[in-house]
Structure formats: structure tokens, C-alpha cells
Chain A
Amino acid sequence: MPDQSKWKAGLRAIGIPVLATIVGLLVGILCILIAGKDPVLAAKAFYRAVAGEPRMFGNVLVSTIPLIFTGLAVAFAYRAGLFNIGVEGQYLMAQIATVVVGVWWTPPQGFEWLHPIFALGAGAVAGAIWGGIVGLLKAWKGVHEVINSIMMNWIALFLADWLLKAYLRPDNSRAASYDLQQTAWLSQGLIEGSRLHTGIWIALGTAVVVWIILFKTPLGYEIRAVGHSPGAAEYGGISVARALIITMAISGAIAGMAGSVQTMGLNHRFNETTALLGYGFDGIAVALVGRLHPVGVVLAALLFGALQASSGLMQAMAGVPKAVVSIVQAAVIFFVAAEGLWSFLQRRRAKKEVTPA
């Protein structure tokens, strides 16, 4: 088999994140020791929080759902060489759109099942527009996507806040919008006692769709070609501008679905938001650790979801500060991103093998 056979590449793609996770957990244990707490107790707490009871696992999945979406959004854009740092803004705009459809539109009798679909669709469209604008500016004026997606985040934050205060709530005693009509809710109770909602199926379905788009359609071919080599893509008759816009729009739609699903499945309203909460950055982390592959993203989201969901219990049971969880996350990201370090080590090893020859 040649060096770059699929197997070896695949093994490597999985190997690095797994290794990074192990190292990240070791770093976490070290932190717990330094903080003077008992790592065994912390591990027990973690286990209980993740798999102690079915409902606990359900809550892990609840944390995982938005991470899958945001991770997919970042990974998708990255395939075209775009860094979508604007997930947060797309997320917020989608929530607004979902609230509008969920509160003010009433499906005709017998067509209640349309309500979540339309509410989700509205969110996806809003996200697509918000992301598409970034792609458009990049393709048309060459404005770097990082700069203008950061600006779009702030615009979204204040626009959402203003819309909430001006139109979406009954009066200013309430720090949230009207509640969605029940017909627009995603049903909960997939696992008894947890708030796990059907959004998990939407998230997993989206991962499958992303995989299909990227690897099974001409559009995916174009996106990947543009990501690897804009020059060759242009030569090959692919419109780079078009690919950039479409990619950002799709990425925005996926990010938007994160917001919509969160609203429809969990909050059932839009809560007043006065700061950017970092959904976008979580997405970047998940995409990186998942190595930009849909399957990897799902697994990475699960890992991060488990860490997030367990931090409360670890604090309560073992006195582990919540910051330790953040440190573990950061360590995992660091070791995955430090791929250069990895290949460096590999090269050294290769050399060692040769030396005695």
C-alpha cells in the first residue's frame, strides 16, 4: 500500500484527535491534583454525569446538539477555505426568524406538523442570508470573511436585541420574547426524565447531508476544489465567487439551524441576549477536533457535550472548579491543532529508525 492509502490516512485522522483527547484528560487530571482535589472522585462524578443514568446521557446529548450544528457549519465553510467565525450571528438571526414563525404563524388545522418545519426553515434561511452576505462581500469586494463575519456578529447581536425589545415581547417586564406556539415545539422525552428533544435527529441528519453534499455532489467537488486550489478551480471552469457565496450561505444555514433547534427544542422563546456567548467558538473547536469531517464533528461534539454537561456534577461531587473543564477542552484543541508538532515527532521517530542502519 502506498504511503497515503486511505486506511493509513483514516487511521491518522482518527488517531490524532483520540490521542489529543487522552492527553487533554491527563492535563485535566493534573489540574485537579494541583487544585488539591481527588481525581478518582472527579472521574466518578464524570462517569455519573455522562452514563450514570439514561437521563444523564440524555442531557449530554442536549448539550451535544447545538455543537454538532455549529461544528458542521465551521467545518463546511472551511472546506472551501473559508473561516466562518460568524456562526454566532447566524445563530441569533435564525432564532429571531424562528420566533417570528413560531409565534405569529398558526398552521391550518391538520397541518400542525408543518409548524416546526417552517420555523426551522425560516431559521435556516435567516442564517443563510446572514452567512451569504459574508460570502458575497468576500467574492465581490474581496473583504476578508473573518473581518466581516465578526462585524456581522455584532450587527446581529444588536439587531436581535432591538427586535426583541421593539416587537417580539409583550412588554418590557419580560426578558424574553413571546413563547412559541406549542405546535412549533420539538417534542422532548426521547429519554425519560431528560430534556432531550428530536433536534438530535435533525442534527445527525444534517451531518449526513453535509457529508453527501461534500463528497457526493458536483457542488461539493467545486467547494473542495476551491478550498484546495482556487487557481486550479478557476482553470477548471468553476466559478470561485459562486462557490464562496454558496458555501457561506449553506454554512450560515447550518449555523442557523443550531439556533432554531435550540429555540424550538429547549427554550421555546428567544431570551434576551446582551453579549456574544461563544457558540461560534465552540463550533470552531468542534470542527477542528473533528478534523473537518462530518463524522469527526459528531464525535467531537459528543466529547465536548459530555465535558460541558458533566462540569456541574464534578463541581458538586468532587469540588472540581468548572474552569478545569474549559482547560481540558482547550488542551484537546491545542493538541489537535498542533498537528505540526505531531508530524515533527513522527519525523523524529522515522529518523531514529534509520539511524542504526
Chain B
Amino acid sequence: MGLRSHPLPITMLLKLEGITKRFGSLVANDHIDLEIRQGEIHALLGENGAGKSTLMNILYGLYTPDEGRIFWKGKEVKIRNPRHAIDLGIGMVHQHFMLIPVFTVAENITLGKEVTRNRFLDMNEARKRVEELSQRFGLEVNPDDRIESISVGQQQRVEILKALYRGAELLILDEPTAVLTPQEVEELGKIMKRLVAQGHTIIIITHKLKEVLHLADRVTVIRRGKKIATLDAAGQTEAELARLMVGRDVILTVDKEPAKPGKVVLEVKNLHAKNDRGVEAVRDVSFTVRAGEIVGIAGVDGNGQSELIACLTGLRKPTSGTVTVNGQDVTGQSPRRIRDAGVGHIPEDRQKRGLVLNFTVAENAALGDHRAFARRGWLSYQRMVDKAKEIISGFDVRPPRHDYLARSLSGGNQQKVIVGREILRNPDLMIAVQPTRGLDVGAIEFIHRNLVSERDAGRAILLVSLELDEIMNLADRILVMYKGQIVAEVPGHEATEEGLGLLMMGGSASA
């Protein structure tokens, strides 16, 4: 007997009327009306740059709308700042984390609502509460870890816990699952259902349509700043939602020919590496990637993938073992040397690594080989602009402006700039970590096709993703990483979600 079988009166928790937000001449939100019912899970869908984050930032008091009105529990409110939003009972987990890197997990979660005893911080108590909270919601974190030393996935969990800790009635989740593993996503789904059953309300922004259908009660689709429709989730299909978002039919699976692997491009032998805490995180890893194939690395976040990739790209020194690219030993070399050896890298953390946020798109187009943008020793802005234009038109970056600061692009468009830059560099080996993180279905389709055609053009591609669908769709061979080791190799066409899932949890293939 669910609550919902009773004909309860539907109460409106939140109502937006004609919300408009402009950034200069760009209209990010164009007269958006939206109603959120008490106790529902409401999904917000839309292409990259459609204006979803902007709308939610308005709700959270980060931006002031240029026009429009907000009603909270029937009363008109002007949300002045996040503190005000929190006081009203609105919590938000941002697309890009807002954690303090040098603080511990517990400190970050309790920040702004610290646990004190006799006016002093009581960290023991805070730690205990965080542990309790993390157990109650099944989001595993270690309260004493420093944020800078944990993976993006773990940081995401901390963000969610932080909002829960502040006791939000309305929880806004801006792409909370982009970096979670399927198991964690499922777990989060359960948490959300539980929260809703307890009377909370949730707005979730996501690009994963399956999730939407699975979790949400209602769906609102935004396209280019305008609201297209609000629908009941029941009875919708992925394809239909995709069409509403993008305005055309989207092909959700990738067609590809069997791989024709050529010579070995990347060879990793007996690699060992430590993580930031000095614990061995990569243990005796050996594998190869050949020209013309896509090798996927699957695994639960935090099983050594990040450290392995850091070793391959020069961002971390391995403790032993060798890395060879095109027959050239690049073990422990600088990122510069490794790039010069023909390696492209789509990094896990686009804001910390992939872009200089305070540079323009044009300046970012040169990141990685800016010296090639010099002409007789002078930096050529014209070349950077040309490259940026190539990326913008090739990868549909919106708005199409090379003079925009990377900071003011939407998350998905930032990702497109990075992916475009790395692909256009034509590397022999492409190391792609979560290449479609935060992209909309249309853009994912496009990037996937691109990676496959890169493969067919004879490039070697190493794909790391927490997204099993992505790995199974693209990879010709799948390596499963568990506790720092490669525990299995599965041919792409033989992989099943269940089989991989088991292997990723440390089970055996025969099970």
C-alpha cells in the first residue's frame, strides 16, 4: 500500500512563473513556468546549455532572475542567497562540487552548521554524525579523508550528504549521477525514494533517460532556455524523451564494425603506483592497447583507475613497471613528453585539469600544446581562435563564442571543448576518462560516433568509464579493475551487465 494510492490532495510546494535570466544578449532562461508538487521526484531534462543549472541556481539564490516570480509554499519569495534558500528548506548539490579541498569529509559536511560543545568545534561528535548519516543513506564515505585525496565519485557522495545534513525539504540534485557507478546510482535511487516517502521533494537534473523513467514522477523538458513540456514519467520512452530534448530522433546505440587491431601502441608492464595517502593503489597491472581498437576499463570508482591513468599521462610517477607508447619508453615522464609521444587525454576532472576556467575558450584550445600556437616565438591569438572555431563548429559548443571564458560555459559545453580539442589533435593513443560525463544524449551519440571513427582511422583508444553502458557500447575488449588489479578481460561482444557487475565487485567470471 503506497502512500500514493490514497487520493491525497496535490499540494504545490514551489511554483515558478515566467522566470527569465539573461547573460548579456544570451537568454539562458526564457519565461519558464514550473510547478513542483510536494513529495514528487521531478526530473529536469534538456540539452547542454539549455539553462537547467541556471534555473536551479536561481532557486538556490545564486542568481537573481531578470523577470518572473517564485512562490514557495504558496507565498511569493525573493531568494536572496544560498543561506536564505537553505533557511527556506531548499538544498542543492551542484554539478561542480563546492567542497573545500583541504578540509576533511566531516568538516565539509558540517560546514556552516558545525557541531559545537561549549562553543568549540566538537569534531568527534561531528564525525559520529557523519558516519550515522552515511550509514542511514548508504553513501559510503570516510569522515577523516581530506577532500583533495578522494575520487570525484566520493566527492559527489560528500556533496549529497552535505545537503541531507542540512535537512533540506526540497533537494535539488544537478547531475548527481554523472560520476556514480551503476550500483551507486541504484543506491541513490533507493535513497531518493526513501526521502520522498518521508515527505521530501526532489528535483533532479540528469542526462540519463533510463534513470528518469525509473525514478521520476514527472518530467520537465527545457530546450534553448524555453520550457517545452511537463509530462508524467509513466508511459514515456527514452526515445520520446530524447526527441523532445533535442528536437530530432536520436540513435541511442552505436553501430560499429568489429575492430581490426593493428600494432601495439600502448604497452603497460607490471605497473605499480601509490595513491595520495601512500597506499598501493595500482598493483602489477599489465595490458596493451593496439591501433584500431577501443579497450575499456570497467570498475567501481576508487579501484585504482584514477591512479593508473595518472601514471599513463605523466601526472603521477609509478613506483615500478614500465609504460611504452609507440615503442618509446615513457615511464615516469612529464605530461609534456607523453603528449609529444602522441597521447591525447580527456581527463576525469574537467574543471581542475581539463580547462583553465579563467581563460577564454580560444586560450583553452591551445592548452596542451600552446607552443605549437607560437609563430616565431610569439603567441598567435589568431591560431588559437582558429582552433577554437574548429572545436566550436565541429563539436557544437554553445554558445559558439571563442571569447567566452570557459568558466561561463555550461558543464556539458565545457566537456565538449575538451573532447574536441583532444580529438582534433589526432593523437595515436587517446586516453578518454568519462568522455561523455555530463553530456546530453545528442552529444553522447556524437562523441561515441567520433570515438568509433577515430578507432577505425587506426587510433588506439583507452576508455575509462564508470558507465557500463558506455563501455559495453564502445569497447572491443573490456578490462575489469578491482582493488588495483586487472582481474579479468572480457571481449566486448560477450560482456553482459550482470557479468561485469559481478567481476567489478571482486566476483569471478564463472559465477
Q: Which residues of A contact B (CB under 8 A)?
A: 1-6, 215-218, 220-222, 224-225, 228-229, 231-239, 347, 350-351, 354-355, 357
Contacts and interface: CB of A to CB of B under 8 A. Distances in A.
Interface in B359-386: 359, 363, 366-371, 373-374, 377-379
Contact of B352 (A2, A215, A231): A231
20 contacts: A2-B25, A4-B405, A6-B403, A215-B379, A217-B377, A220-B379, A221-B370, A224-B356, A224-B359, A228-B358, A229-B352, A229-B358, A231-B353, A232-B354, A235-B335, A239-B336, A351-B64, A351-B80, A354-B64, A354-B66
A217 B64 contact: no
Nearest to A222: B370
B315 A235 contact: yes
A348 to B, nearest CB: 10
A216 B66 CA distance: 38
Contacts of A217: 374, 377-379
Given A217-B374, A217-B378, A217-B379, A237 B404 contact: no
Interface string B4-16: 0000000000000
A1 B26 CA distance: 8
B65 interface: yes
A235 B371 contact: no
Interface residues on B, range: 35 or more
B366 A2 contact: no
A220 B380 CA distance: 12
Nearest to B313: A235
B78 interface: yes
Contacts of A236: 335, 367-368, 370
Nearest to A215: B379
Contact of B23 (A3, A224, A225, A350): A3
B367 A232 contact: yes
Contacts, number: 103
Interface in B371-414: 371, 373-374, 377-379, 399, 401, 403-405, 408
B24 A2 contact: yes
B310 to A, nearest CB: 10
A218 B315 contact: no
Nearest to A355: B78
B178 to A, nearest CB: 19
A315 B218 CA distance: 75
A232 B356 contact: yes
Given A2-B24, A224-B359, 13 more contacts: A2-B404, A2-B408, A4-B405, A6-B403, A224-B356, A228-B358, A228-B359, A232-B353, A232-B367, A237-B335, A239-B334, A351-B78, A357-B67
B369 A229 contact: no
Contacts of B315: 234-235
A237 B371 CA distance: 10
Given A218-B371, A225-B356, A233-B356, A4 B335 contact: no
Contacts of A218: 370-371, 373-374, 377, 379
B24 A1 contact: yes
B345 interface: yes
A2 B26 contact: yes
Nearest to A237: B336
A-B CB proximity, top 5 nearest: A237-B336, A2-B24, A235-B353, A236-B367, A231-B352
Given A4-B404, A222-B370, A235 B345 contact: yes
Contacts of A354: 64-66, 78
B64 A350 contact: yes
A224 B366 CA distance: 13
Interface string B60-95: 000011111000000000101000000000000000
A230 to B, nearest CB: 9
A279 B204 CA distance: 55
A211 to B, nearest CB: 13
A16 to B, nearest CB: 18
Contacts of B318: none
B433 to A, nearest CB: 12
A239 B338 CA distance: 13
B46 interface: no
A221 B363 contact: yes
Contacts of A351: 64, 78, 80
B166 interface: no
Contacts of B80: 351
A339 to B, nearest CB: 15
Contacts of B313: 235
A220 B370 CA distance: 11
A6 B359 CA distance: 13
A128 to B, nearest CB: 20
Given A4-B405, A217-B377, A218-B371, A235 B354 contact: yes
Contact of B356 (A3, A220, A228): A228
A29 B250 CA distance: 69
Interface in B313-347: 313, 315, 334-336, 339-340, 345, 347
Nearest to A225: B356
Contact of A2 (B345, B373, B401): B401
B241 interface: no
Contacts of A222: 370
Contact of A237 (B25, B65, B339, B405): B339
A231 B336 CA distance: 14
A2 B340 CA distance: 36
Contacts of A5: 24, 403
B357 interface: yes
A232 B364 CA distance: 10
Contacts of A220: 379
Nearest to B404: A2
B160 interface: no
B152 interface: no
A225 B353 CA distance: 11
B298 interface: no
Nearest to A220: B379
B432 interface: no
B429 interface: no
A245 B12 CA distance: 60
A225 to B, nearest CB: 5
Contacts of B474: none
B216 interface: no
A1 B66 CA distance: 16
Contacts of A355: 78
Nearest to B371: A218
B67 to A, nearest CB: 6
B348 to A, nearest CB: 10
Contacts of A229: 352, 355-358
A6 B339 CA distance: 33
Contacts of B336: 237-239
B25 A1 contact: yes
Given A220-B379, A232-B353, A237 B24 contact: no
A6 B347 CA distance: 30
B23 A221 contact: no
B402 to A, nearest CB: 12
A260 to B, nearest CB: 27
Nearest to B20: A357
A182 B503 CA distance: 83
Nearest to B399: A2
A220 B66 CA distance: 38
B16 to A, nearest CB: 14
A5 B24 CA distance: 9
A308 B174 CA distance: 54
* Most A C-beta atoms less than 10 A away, residue of B315, B339, B345, B371: B371
A113 B65 CA distance: 65
